Structure 1
Amino acid sequence: MNNFRNPPIPQNIDTLDTCPKFNNFNTLASYPDNDVNLKDVSLVDSDNLPLFEDDMDTTSLISALKTNLAYWQAKPDSFKITIGKDSYTAIQMRATTKKLLAIFSQNLKSSELNDILKKDFKLYRSVADDGSDSVVITGYYEAQISVSAEPTEKYKYPIHLKPSDLIKISPLANLDFDYGRIDENGNLVKHYSREEIRSGKLDGQNLEIVWSAHPAEIMLLQIQGSGILSFGEGGFIKAGFNGANGWPFKSVQRILMECGEIPSMNFSSFIAYLTAQSQERELRLVNLNPRYIFFKINPSDTQPYGAMGRPLTPGRSIAVDPKPIPYGLTAVLKSKKPIAGANGNISEFKDFTRMVTTQDTGSAIRGPGRVDLFWGAGDKAKLEASSMKAKGELYLLVLK
């Protein structure tokens, strides 16, 4: 059973309403899960590459690299990306990925791998204002929640398909939102907020996929970006990301921590805390995050797809902000990872180095100093991904 520190609330007064920081939360456009003092991605000397001893199997890396290659092969030769101050074409990125596939298809020693990577590749690293050159690394996984195929007294919160009027906005439009709709005056605006959707703005459009018992579990599914929707009588369907409402992400967990309502806890424990609230308060807390994700039904035998439009590889795929760090890159990640013990808790945090691929993004992933590592599915993945939050280093590789 989870025991949470929840200070007494005077009758008819919510803890948040007495918290000075809550006013700041309400006035800011976004409120990410942490502030990271990172401003750029910069070319660094190859000698900065940490000693590379990958902690995972080569098979998963080859799979992730092949996914990257398929992505670049689908791009026209003239397609360009920017990394730091440099530009690269799809031709150059294909060559980079093919070279990496050739290298890791050989049974090379760690020392040989390091020599080749330093000799043949340029390195790009995030640059921090405070000189730490670190990134904040969190984890995500394929969530699993209980649902009903029909609304009931218990299962009354719908999970939605994408509305027909949802518009994906090009970054070239230079707007401060990524999805929107045309309003009654002909203006391009954000789509409805989470609270507006919960009040019925999408009702009557046959967009309901299934119904959940908890709005917090829907928010969990939306933050993870994909998941398994399990029916009580057996069976399941898989849901995948299919657009958002354009509103910025606001971290409910962060504001509750800053207001002293909850201690630091992993994300799974936080969702359990929300679902333990009264229905009215759970809904109020979840609605503090205005960003809302829409879904589509995916084949039951497939891995979740990333924003790159390709299947994710557990342990290898990372979510990034695609503005400073484009999709389809390969990188060396160095950090500490949580290790699940036999008792179902985290037993230790262990140093690791791993080759990863940039294949996804997320609402809370903003700037070059944020990385979200995809863990996969299952209880172990849930525990470790929810407990992953550490500083680390990320080095992007491009063939010289």
Structure 2
Amino acid sequence: MTLKPLRWSALALLTLLAACSTTPPEPTEPAAPVKKASGPVYEAVSFSALPASEKKDWESALEAFRLSCTSIGKRDAWRDVCLRAQTVRPGLAREFFEANFTPWKVEVAKYENNEEVGRQEAGLMTGYFEPLLFGSRVRQAPFVHPIYGVPDDLLVIDLADLYPELKGMRLRGKLEGRRVVPYDTRGVIQKRTDLDRWAIAWVDDPVAAFFLQVQGSGRILLPDGTYMRVGFADQNGYRYRSIGRWLVEKGHLKPHELSMQRIQAWAKENPKRVAEALAQNPSYVFFEERNGDPNLGPTGAQGVPLTPRASVAVDPKFWTLGTPAVVSVSQEKPDLRFVKPVVAQDTGGAIRGPIRFDFFWGFGDDAGAAAGRQKSRVEAWMLVPNGLEPRDLRR
């Protein structure tokens, strides 16, 4: 799910800019003490304290970590351990991690009146995958639903130059006369025809195109039998909103029926209401064509190919991309339980918080079925190079 740094709505940021452009009045009363907000806490444990996992999964995690090292391997915190990762013999992946990393249990501290009142030890893990769509580079029936590249009227304004405290925040909008206003929502974009010249492909299913945006990357099978790989290029500035929730509120689905497959089935049964349903999510993703080894996964936010069942999307506010972890997952309906070492290699618009993950299942229908069913409880242990603490990993 390859959505990039945290985005604020254009209207909120314009308001913020206006506020920041004036000098605040002198306070007339002492400032109130700053209340502590909930936040992550870490506790070092031994590898023997981790739940049991399978040896083959450590091999996949090492493969993923080696790819991450092409990005983080020159940083002080990672240089030595990345060099050692390149020389590990097959079958010794777990031994490598045990010898070079310390597990840190990730929890979230809760505060009331600046006093810690408890800790949350578990969070949420969902799943995502690389979907297969059917389409064409040109509009021709039945391929009439666009996959848009970035249109020229989308403005992206990096605010860090003027306001360093807003590093990573970008304003997205468009010009209306001399004013910058929020960019169009999905509902408006769906009705625009002037964007067709920015289409990089056309597909046969609007719901498949919608879920491509949710996943952030995918492959399109073209009429000549070749594949076109596409990935996230930009976004219209709005946060993702679940259309499943709307379907439940309107009585079209029951809460226990919510899954990607069930939403697709509803769309086939109600073709005249598809546009209305999709418009409930104002967020819209624009794509670019991607090259790369077809035997490897799509490129994640870290800039390296994702490894099926070993890569996860995380909140970069709390995780350094490239960091290994161990996750313990449990779910009842449908039953799903596993413990796996993984590597944080991607981000997502809905992935917020220190114990919030999206698990990459791989490519194709089977991976999609698994991803669509996952909504799991998860506990996590961050694997930190020996001698360092979690706060040191960005060095």
Q: TM-score, normalised by structure 2?
A: 0.74
Indicate whether 1:373 and 2:359 are aligned. yes
| Pairwise CA distance, 1:391 | 0.3
Give me the identity figure in percent.
27
Which ranges in structure 1 are unaligned for 5 or more consecutive residues?
1-28, 30-37, 75-89, 339-345
Q: What is the letter of the counterpart of residue 45 of structure 1?
A: A
Superposed counterparts of 1:340-379, under 5 Å:
349-379=335-365
Q: 282, 299, 302: which one pairs with 1:290?
A: 282
Q: 1:42 maps to which residue?
A: 41
| Pairwise CA distance, 1:57 | 4.3
Q: Evaluate the alpha carbon distance shift between residue 106 and residue 239 of structure 1 in structure 2; reply closer, same or farther with a 3 A threshold.
A: closer
Superposed counterparts of 1:76-225, under 5 Å:
90-98=75-83, 101=85, 105=89, 107=91, 116=99, 120-121=101-102, 123-127=104-108, 129=110, 131-152=119-140, 154-168=142-156, 170=158, 172=160, 174=166, 178=170, 180-200=172-192, 202-203=194-195, 206-225=197-216
3-state SS of 2:278 partner: helix
What is the rounded CA distance, in whole Å, between the counterparts of 2:358 and 2:169 in structure 1?
21
Q: Evaluate the alpha carbon distance shift between residue 107 and residue 270 of structure 1 in structure 2; reply closer, same or farther with a 3 A threshold.
A: same
Q: Evaluate the alpha carbon distance shift between residue 316 and residue 41 of structure 1 in structure 2; reply closer, same or farther with a 3 A threshold.
A: same
What is the rounded CA distance, in whole Å, between the counterparts of 2:38 and 2:133 in structure 1?
37
Indicate conservation of the 8 Å contact 1:216/1:274, yes or no: no
Indicate whether 1:241 and 2:232 are aligned. yes
| Pairwise CA distance, 1:337 | 7.4
Q: Evaluate the alpha carbon distance shift between residue 115 and residue 377 of structure 1 in structure 2; reply closer, same or farther with a 3 A threshold.
A: closer
Which ranges in structure 2 are unaligned for 5 or more consecutive residues?
1-11, 13-36, 111-117, 388-395
Indicate conservation of the 8 Å contact 2:57/2:341, yes or no: no
| Pairwise CA distance, 1:305 | 0.6
Q: 2:393 maps to which residue?
A: none
What is the rounded CA distance, in whole Å, between the counterparts of 2:303 and 2:155 in structure 1?
18
Deviations 1:223-273 (A, max 9, x none): 111111123563331111111111111011123234543122353323423
Q: Evaluate the alpha carbon distance shift between residue 189 and residue 92 of structure 1 in structure 2; reply closer, same or farther with a 3 A threshold.
A: farther
Q: 245, 252, 267: which one pairs with 2:259?
A: 267
3-state SS of 1:92 partner: coil
What is the rounded CA distance, in whole Å, between the counterparts of 1:223 and 1:176 in structure 2?
21
| Pairwise CA distance, 1:325 | 1.8
What is the rounded CA distance, in whole Å, between the counterparts of 1:372 and 1:184 in structure 2?
37
Q: What is the letter of the counterpart of residue 213 of structure 1?
A: D
Instruction: Identify which range, 326-335 or 218-227, moves more after superposition.
Output: 326-335
Indicate conservation of the 8 Å contact 1:179/1:191, yes or no: no
Q: What is the letter of the counterpart of residue 358 of structure 2?
A: D
Indicate conservation of the 8 Å contact 1:321/1:367, yes or no: yes
Q: TM-score, normalised by structure 1?
A: 0.73
| Pairwise CA distance, 1:361 | 1.1
CA-based RMSD of the aligned residues comes to 3.3
Q: 2:34 maps to which residue?
A: none
3-state SS of 1:309 partner: coil
What is the rounded CA distance, in whole Å, between the counterparts of 2:318 and 2:194 in structure 1?
34
Q: 2:8 maps to which residue?
A: none
Indicate conservation of the 8 Å contact 2:125/2:375, yes or no: yes
What is the rounded CA distance, in whole Å, between the counterparts of 1:55 and 1:168 in structure 2?
45
What is the rounded CA distance, in whole Å, between the counterparts of 2:167 and 2:177 in structure 1?
18
| Pairwise CA distance, 1:306 | 0.5
